[in-house]
Amino acid sequence: MSELTAGNHQLTNGLEVLLITDPRARSITASLLGRRGPVHDPPGKPGLAHLSEHLFLSGVNYGGTAVGEPVEAVGGLVEGTTYRQHIRVELRTPLHCWRWTLEYLVELWRRGPSVKEIASERQALILECREAREIPELWVGSLAWDALGQDLAFRGFRSEFFDGVSKLSASDVENWTRGLGSDQWVLCVHSPCPESDLLEHISRLFNVDGSRGRPRTIVPHRPTAKRIVRLHQSKAAQSSVALLIASGAPTLRDIASGRVLCSLLSGGTQGLLFTTLRDKEGLVYDVVSHCVAESDILAIEVYTSINEGAEDRVTDLIRQQLEHLLSDGVDPSKLQRAKAFTNGVFDISLETPATGGRWLGNRYMSLGRIVAPEEWTESVEQVTPRQVNEFLVRSMESSDWVWAVSSPRATGLKGSFYGNAGAQVESVSW
């Protein structure tokens, strides 16, 4: 079992501090997680959160050198990620640099980007999104999220997104930054260092007030639509299909059920969809599913790339598997395999210290509390066939799900989808 221990604290300025102690770690990973993501972008300003994340790690620092240069000079890494509801800025360095790493992270947190940096990163963000459009799993999944009104980092890759990003200004970034007060951030540190030593140093460095303005109450958009999105991309070499099922604010039990359901559908070579779509039908190379858990939503993503012309057959087979689960329930032996797969993947992730720390940080962001590895493993083990069935029924009977398909053909996606009656159908063309 994992040797990770975690404790959370709050500084007087409201900053939350999550300290993860791992005796096996030979490095320090320090992350700042800001509770604002693409779902909070103001109307007409898509990409603002994503751009702001870029700006943390772009340009020059107070010393006049590139932000990443001093980190890489000591053998470290810098990384930024935009999630649906929050952003992450991360520094990972050798252990002997732990004090400097925290000091440098404070500098990045407090600095303001220049107008030149904003213009440069605007273009970089547009290029990133255009490049991502060439990855079928990304754009078909993004279309599905976009159809639910859950605008992610790429906003479905629509032309309005690129137009909006190109118009983002320095004042937009400044307002975004000022609207994110100290109590809207979580500092997550993963290291072998004693918690008391870290906390003393962090309190001295991060316990500053007012540098980021007054916090605002941020209300994410709620998913409401049931839609089918068809994307015609004439230059695509293949088609892709995505199914997105979303429900409300999750509990730990919900997240465990969702993860087990993902393993049941496409975990390894014995997942229900993998054996049906690949082994029996030969229609796909792989099927991928993810469980996305944030404070206000739990979503199951299923997507696969297929040959042109097989869109209807694949979507019908996915629908049939879901209907079998709903009507016949979950086979106990298959559920046990799915639970073992879920916990096995989790245990393997803990072997990499940074991955284990990141998992704990993300669970903290979604549930607002520390979830110990042992508690998670036990929650997965306690998942029952009825629990999975109830989770699936609750999700599929709601209006919060969508199909998306991309194809080189202008037609497609005519299958008799589960719950298709009355769904809004939208066609998009690139």
Query: Which phi and psi angles does 215 have, rounded to 5°?
Result: -65, 150
Where is average pLDDT lowest: 108-112, 200-204, 381-385, 387-391?
108-112
Burial of 222: CB neighbours in 10 Å, binned 0-12, 13-18, 19+ = middle
- Measured CA to CA, the distance from residue 78 to residue 168 in angstroms comes to 24
Question: Which is higher by pLDDT, 269 or 193?
Answer: 193
- Measured CA to CA, the distance from residue 236 to residue 240 in angstroms comes to 10
pLDDT of residue 57: 80
Asked if 218 contacts 378 with a C-beta cutoff of 8 angstroms, the reply is no
Query: Which phi and psi angles does 348 have, rounded to 5°?
Result: -65, -40
What is the average pLDDT across 87-103?
90
Tokens 């508690």 -> residue? 375
pLDDT of residue 226: 56
- Can you give the length of the chain in residues? 430
Residue 50's alpha-carbon distances to 35, 36, 58, 273, in angstroms, are 13, 10, 13, 33
Beta strands in 11-133 (DSSP E): 16-21, 27-34, 77-82, 87-94
Exposure of 382 in the CB half-sphere (CA atoms within 13 A): 11
pLDDT of residue 65: 64
Asked if 16 contacts 9 with a C-beta cutoff of 8 angstroms, the reply is yes
CA nearest neighbour of 55 among 125, 136, 151? 125
Highest mean pLDDT among 26-40, 118-132, 411-425: 26-40
Res 326 pLDDT > 70: yes
What is the average pLDDT across 159-187?
84
What is the average pLDDT across 63-88?
82
Residue 193's alpha-carbon distances to 30, 53, 196, 204, 273, in angstroms, are 12, 28, 9, 17, 44
CA nearest neighbour of 296 among 246, 370, 226? 246
- Measured CA to CA, the distance from residue 177 to residue 356 in angstroms comes to 29
- Measured CA to CA, the distance from residue 280 to residue 71 in angstroms comes to 50
Domains, in order of start, for the chain: 5-206 (3.30.830.10), 227-429 (3.30.830.10)
pTM of the model: 0.75
Encoded tokens for 246: 């979303």
Please name the residues in contact with 219: beta carbons below 8 A apart, sequence gap of 6 or more: none
pLDDT of residue 137: 65
pLDDT of residue 26: 86
pLDDT band at 264 (very low <50, low <70, confident <90, very high): very high
- Measured CA to CA, the distance from residue 36 to residue 424 in angstroms comes to 29
> What percent of the chain clears pLDDT 70, i.e. is strictly above it?
77
- Measured CA to CA, the distance from residue 190 to residue 378 in angstroms comes to 23
pLDDT band at 211 (very low <50, low <70, confident <90, very high): very low
- Measured CA to CA, the distance from residue 40 to residue 87 in angstroms comes to 11
Where is average pLDDT lowest: 93-97, 144-148, 325-329?
144-148
Asked if 291 contacts 250 with a C-beta cutoff of 8 angstroms, the reply is no
Characterise 18 by phi-psi region: left (phi > 0), alpha (psi -120 to 50), beta (else). beta
- Give the full edge-to-edge strand order of the sheet including 227-232: 288-294, 297-306, 239-247, 401-407, 227-232, 424-429
Residue 199's alpha-carbon distances to 10, 25, 71, 126, 315, in angstroms, are 10, 18, 22, 39, 52
The number of beta carbons lying within 10 Å of the beta carbon of residue 79 is 14
Rounded to the nearest angstrom, the gap between the alpha carbon of residue 128 and the centroid of all alpha carbons in its chain is 17
Where is average pLDDT lowest: 70-74, 141-145, 282-286, 340-344?
141-145
Res 297 pLDDT > 70: yes
Exposure of 212 in the CB half-sphere (CA atoms within 13 A): 25
What is the average pLDDT across 254-275?
89
Mean pLDDT estimate for the chain: 78
Res 391 pLDDT > 70: yes
Q: What is the DSSP string of 287-356?
A: -EEEEEEETTEEEEEEEEEE-TT-HHHHHHHHHHHHHHHHHH---HHHHHHHHHHHHHHHHHHHTSHHHH
pLDDT band at 16 (very low <50, low <70, confident <90, very high): very high
Where is average pLDDT lowest: 58-72, 285-299, 349-363?
58-72
